[in-house]
């Protein structure tokens, strides 16, 4: 049985010099969830926003899990490669450069997996409330790929030790990681928006 392609939204760039964003929602979200966030943190960027193809009790996700915080790692690998193929096809279809991923929760976890499994697909990533996606990741060569990891100090889902481990893992793979722990829980705060916007601004300025 052939799976349907990713349902997605695409909004073309409205300004020059802003990097395209790949928006990856959390559990129960869809392709509309992060469009507003994308516009807030990078006005003018092209926005590519797919819907996760796994359903958990009717809620879209990007990969299966066995329990909260326990991932089906075989599925993580397969779904990350599928997402990478989708991004490559979408780049051709819409004529955009390699995007910066902006992922929240489950979307951040698949973005982290994509960085480790297909390092050439993304130009960088903003990982909001992410966890280590793979217990035995491949040796990735991220060659300075910029990553902003924003964790919540009071996050009941992501232990501080796990997000710190993810930062170390990506750094070891060669990514240029900025990890900040915010006085927040699992939900996003205004500080996330401000930090992400400033970080993207710095990335765009450095690329100009």
Domains in the chain: boundaries: 8-207
Query: pLDDT band for position 4 (50/70/90)?
Result: low
- Domain 8-207: CATH superfamily is Alpha/Beta hydrolase fold, catalytic domain (3.40.50.1820)
Residue 1: is its pLDDT beyond 60?
A: no
Q: Mind listing the pLDDT tens digit for each residue in 12-68?
A: 999 888 999 999 999 999 999 999 999 999 999 999 999 999 999 999 999 999 988
% of the chain with per-residue pLDDT over 90: 89
State the average pLDDT over residues 167-173: 96
Long-range residue pairs from 193-199, CB within 8 A, at least 24 positions apart, any chain: 193/37, 193/40, 193/41, 195/148, 195/150, 196/41, 196/102, 196/126, 196/128, 196/148, 196/150, 197/40, 197/41, 197/42, 199/126, 199/146, 199/148
Long-range residue pairs from 183-190, CB within 8 A, at least 24 positions apart, any chain: 183/153, 183/154, 184/152, 184/153, 184/154, 184/155, 185/152, 185/154, 185/155, 185/156, 186/105, 186/129, 186/152, 186/155, 186/156, 186/157, 186/158, 187/152, 188/37, 188/104, 188/128, 188/129
Q: The pTM is what?
A: 0.96
Q: Mind listing the pLDDT tens digit for each residue in 93-114?
A: 999 999 999 999 999 999 999 9
State the average pLDDT over residues 79-86: 97
State the average pLDDT over residues 114-129: 97
Catalytic residues, which ones?
105, 155, 186
% of the chain with per-residue pLDDT over 70: 98
Residue 80: is its pLDDT beyond 90?
A: yes
Give the helix ranges, DSSP H, for the chain.
Answer: 35-41, 73-94, 106-117, 160-172, 190-207
State the average pLDDT over residues 72-79: 96
Residue-averaged pLDDT of the chain? 94
């Amino acid at each position: 049985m052939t799976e349907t392609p990713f349902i997605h939204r695409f909004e073309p760039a409205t300004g020059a010099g802003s990097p395209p964003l790949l928006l990856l929602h959390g559990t129960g979200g869809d392709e509309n969830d992060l469009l507003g966030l994308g516009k807030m943190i990078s006005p003018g960027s092209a926005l590519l926003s797919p819907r996760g193809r796994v359903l958990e009790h009717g809620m879209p996700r990007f990969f299966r899990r066995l329990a909260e915080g326990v991932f089906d790692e075989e599925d993580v690998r397969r779904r990350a490669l599928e997402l990478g193929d989708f991004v490559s096809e979408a780049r051709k279809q819409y004529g955009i450069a390699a995007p910066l991923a902006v992922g929240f929760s489950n979307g951040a976890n698949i973005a982290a997996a994509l960085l480790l499994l297909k390092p050439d697909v993304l130009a960088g990533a903003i990982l909001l409330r992410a966890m280590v996606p793979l217990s035995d990741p491949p040796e990735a060569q991220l060659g300075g790929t910029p990553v902003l990891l924003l964790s919540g100090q009071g996050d009941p889902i992501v232990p501080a030790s796990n997000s710190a481990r993810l930062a170390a893992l990506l750094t070891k793979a060669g990514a240029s990681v900025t990890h900040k722990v915010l006085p927040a829980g699992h939900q996003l705060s205004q500080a996330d928006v401000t930090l992400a916007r400033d970080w993207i601004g710095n990335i765009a300025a450095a690329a100009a």
